[in-house]
Amino acid sequence: MYIVAKDGSGDFTTLQAAVDAVPENAHTPVIILLRMDEYHEKVVVHKNNIRIVGEARDRTVLTWNGCAKDKHPDGRDRGTFLSATLMVTGHNVEVENLTIRNDAGDGSVVGQAVAVYAAGDRDIWRNCRMIAHQDTLFCGPMEQRVVDDIRGREGSAEVVECIGDSTLTHSRQYFEDCYIQGDVDFVFGPYRCWFERCTLFMNQRGGLYTAANTPEEQPYGLVFHKCRLTGECRDGEAYLGRPWRKFCRTVFLECEMDEKVSPQGFADWDKEKPVTERCGEWRTTGVRADQSTRHPSQKRLSDEEAATLTVSSVLGGWDQWQPDRRIPTWFLCGDSIMADYPAASAPMTGWGQVLQSLLPGGVFVQNEAVNGRSSKSFVAEKRLNFIELCLRPGDKLIVSFGHNDEKSQDPARYTTARGTYPEYLGMYIDAARRQGAEPVLVTSAARRHFENGKLVPTHGDYPQAMRDLAWERGVRLIDLETATMALVQAAGEEGSKGIYCHVPSGHKNYPQGLADDSHLQYNGAVLFAKLFLEGMKGRLSAGTAAKGEDSETYMDLINAEDYVMNK
């Protein structure tokens, strides 16, 4: 997770700097959290698999004042498509809880001024505000002049010869619970887009909510479902839309329309671009839902026709994309036994580092574990606060502390097993539940400490304190201490060296060798992660683990070959 804070308290002070720092080859979403503030910058999100989260929608604002009448150095107007405040050219980008504005002003004075330019594919916008005047939101590809302007940040977006006369496009955008404000043609473009429970707000100037230029061979364009259409213009001065090109495809399904909406509904652009039956409504409600006054060429969809318009049919495509079904994230909170390690530390590996590779598709792992942290210091550094801002219903908050809570000589980290330790763990439980996520407590993994051939526990009363808290609060418990104790004991005093980070001298990262009985090497990390997942499946019951029964069953979960140290 990257933190953007204008006051310098985060990792970056600008959103663009954070986007530029995201690795090119990220396979799961990299989270960028924007702290509450107003950021005056023009941003291009050109990396794939990024999730941008604002701390609070109305108080986390990205703003710029570009407009079509801005000049190139040679004196030419820059035009509509170089005016955007936020341009997304990457795929699989999610933006949520953020206000994006273009502050250039009234379109009758400055021309078009785009707030959001959505050029990528499989991009998702949730609970965002997009505010401008003329041409607020564009969903479509780039022309070469746009590519030239953002050179180096063109990302994976489609490129066409002419945006207005766009050929068949394959990219898709999904908008949920968004507020979109403008006046003239303020939602426009050729992409397939689904708007779920969004509000379209017409400025005082009045105008048209939409202007699609759907390619002729493309069956779907802009679809608005259960949206609300309103504004501050005079009654009847907000039209549903007009065809930017003659094959415009725009439909409103079960939308509510107040008196600001024109009784005519759609309007012709001109004689060459008239309203056709590709523009239509189904079961719209409100004072402006009377179909008898509508443009004679727009379509009133039948129930059977409307039933064919679903998120899946409009946006699914070859990859069966389902943006309305949010992929859950498992947020990991813990210490160095769970944390990620760079290549320079190999073979040392945290068990959280390998978790994503062991999970089937449909779950993202966000490993926020940090070396040396306790349940107390993790909270003090506001790491839990940042994670809570990103938690959503269906996510899991997986918490495993204890190794550093025991360090009585360090007041910044020390907690008492029967006092402050469960108090701090309770903060994680509460944070998860406030956001509709599930908290999961995980007892500390065993250290390799043998006495007379028998593995001896080293975590004192901390694991039992966590077990008791899980019972009291009704929280899922994964007893990793008991499971790993059984595993390491079965491997034996010598064989267990292949689990922990025992490295012979001469290794490129450890020339003098290493004998570490707490941290894991890659094979050990995989074993511990597998035990954790078995616990998540319910195959390591808390009751059996707490009593230390049936330790042989833990060995049955692991292939013996996994113990061989990777030389």
**For residue 26, what pLDDT is reported?**
81
Characterize the bridge pairing of strands 476-478 and 438-442: parallel
Residue among 301, 297, 48 nearest 153 (CA): 48
The percentage of the chain sitting over the pLDDT mark of 90, rounded to a whole number, equals 89
138 and 189 co-located in one domain: no
CA separation (Å) from 427 to 77, 398, 466? 55, 13, 13
User: Could you give the dihedral angle defined by the CA atoms of residues 77, 82, 86 and 87, in that order, rounded to the nearest 10 degrees?
Assistant: 170
**For residue 551, what pLDDT is reported?**
38
CATH number at residue 276: 2.160.20.10
Averaged pLDDT for residues 148-162: 94
Distance CA 528, CA 337 (A): 10
**For residue 360, what pLDDT is reported?**
80
392 and 304 co-located in one domain: no
382 domain-assigned: yes
512 burial type by CB count under 10 A (0-12 exposed, 13-18 middle, 19+ buried): exposed
Mean pLDDT of all residues belonging to the chain: 93
Characterize the bridge pairing of strands 129-131 and 123-126: unpaired
170 domain-assigned: no
**For residue 538, what pLDDT is reported?**
86
335 and 296 co-located in one domain: no
* Of the residues 273, 288, 320, the one at which a domain ends: 320
206 and 240 co-located in one domain: yes
261 and 340 co-located in one domain: no
Q: Is the pLDDT assigned to residue 557 strictly greater than 80?
A: no
373 and 508 co-located in one domain: yes
Averaged pLDDT for residues 342-355: 96
Contact by Cβ (8 Å): 68, 78: yes
Tell me how many domains the chain contains.
Answer: 3
Averaged pLDDT for residues 221-248: 97
Q: Is the pLDDT assigned to residue 549 strictly greater than 60?
A: no
CATH number at residue 480: 3.40.50.1110
Question: How confident is residue 558, by pLDDT bands cut at 50, 70 and 90?
Answer: very low
Q: Is the pLDDT assigned to residue 545 strictly greater than 70?
A: no
Q: Which residues contact 419 (CB under 8 A, 6 or more apart)?
A: none
* Of the residues 277, 293, 320, the one at which a domain ends: 320
The percentage of the chain sitting over the pLDDT mark of 70, rounded to a whole number, equals 95
Which of 42-51, 77-86, 381-390, 544-553 shows the lowest per-residue confidence on average (mean pLDDT)?
A: 544-553
192 domain-assigned: yes
29 and 139 co-located in one domain: yes
Averaged pLDDT for residues 84-94: 97
**For residue 75, what pLDDT is reported?**
87
Q: How many CA atoms lie within 13 A of 170 on its CB side?
A: 10
Question: How confident is residue 548, by pLDDT bands cut at 50, 70 and 90?
Answer: very low
Spell out the SS3 assignment of 258-311.
CCCECCCCECCCECCECCCCCEEEECCECCCCCHHHCCCCCEECCHHHHHCCCH
Judge if the upstream peptide bond of residue 511 is cis by omega within 30 degrees of 0. no
Token pair of 413, please? Answer: 């980290």
**For residue 384, what pLDDT is reported?**
97
First to last CA, the chain: 32
Which of 22-26, 86-90, 108-112, 553-557 shows the lowest per-residue confidence on average (mean pLDDT)?
A: 553-557
Averaged pLDDT for residues 310-329: 94
Spell out the SS3 assignment of 510-532.
CCCCEEEEEEEEHHHHHHHHHHH
Q: Which residues contact 397 (CB under 8 A, 6 or more apart)?
A: 331, 333, 387, 391, 428, 431, 432, 437, 438, 439, 440
Task: Calculate Rg over the CA atoms of the chain.
Answer: 28
365 and 502 co-located in one domain: yes
292 domain-assigned: yes
**For residue 121, what pLDDT is reported?**
97
* Of the residues 271, 293, 320, the one at which a domain ends: 320
Helices 462-473 and 420-434 sit at what angle, rounded to 10 degrees? Answer: 40
The vertex-223 CA angle with 222 and 224, nearest 5°, equals 120
Residue type, 492: G
193 and 288 co-located in one domain: yes
167 domain-assigned: no
425 and 501 co-located in one domain: yes
Kindly tell me the sign of the dihedral angle through the C-alpha atoms of 500, 504, 505, 510.
Answer: negative
Helices 420-434 and 383-390 sit at what angle, rounded to 10 degrees? Answer: 20
pLDDT in tens, 58-74: 999 999 999 999 998 88
Contact by Cβ (8 Å): 135, 186: yes
558 and 507 co-located in one domain: yes
355 and 401 co-located in one domain: yes
Q: Is the pLDDT assigned to residue 553 strictly greater than 90?
A: no
Q: Is the pLDDT assigned to residue 281 strictly greater than 50?
A: yes
172 domain-assigned: no
Question: How confident is residue 540, by pLDDT bands cut at 50, 70 and 90?
Answer: low
Question: How confident is residue 539, by pLDDT bands cut at 50, 70 and 90?
Answer: confident
Which residue stretches of 27-152 are H helix? 107-110, 144-149
Q: Is the pLDDT assigned to residue 396 strictly greater than 90?
A: yes
Distance CA 309, CA 193 (A): 12
Structural domain of 51: 1-119+128-159
pLDDT in tens, 190-216: 999 999 999 999 999 999 999 999 999
164 domain-assigned: no
Contact by Cβ (8 Å): 116, 134: no
Residue among 469, 484, 483, 491 nearest 538 (CA): 483
Contact by Cβ (8 Å): 181, 134: no
**For residue 554, what pLDDT is reported?**
41
- Residue 280 has φ and ψ, to the nearest 5°, of -165, 180
368 domain-assigned: yes
